[in-house]
Amino acid sequence: MRHRQTDVGESCPVSVVPVAMHDSNIQREIVVDTETTGLSPAAGHRVIEIGCLELINHVPTGSVFHQYLCPERDVPPDAVRIHGLTDEFLVSMPLFSAVAESFIEFVAGAKLIIHNAEFDLGFLNAELRRIKRDDLQNDVVDTLALARKKYPGGQASLDALCRRFNIDNSARTKHGALLDAELLAEVYLELIGGRQPGLTLEARASVETVSEAPKSERPARDHAPTAEELAAHKAFLDSMEKPIWRR
* Positions marked active-site: 175
Say if CB 174 and CB 85 are below 8 A apart.
no
Q: Which amino acid type is present at position 115?
A: H
Distance CA 154, CA 103 (A): 34
* Phi and psi torsions of 118, nearest 5°: -60, -40
Distance CA 207, CA 185 (A): 19
Closest-CA residue to 91 (of 73, 103, 67, 66): 73
Distance of CA 117 to the CA centre of its chain: 15
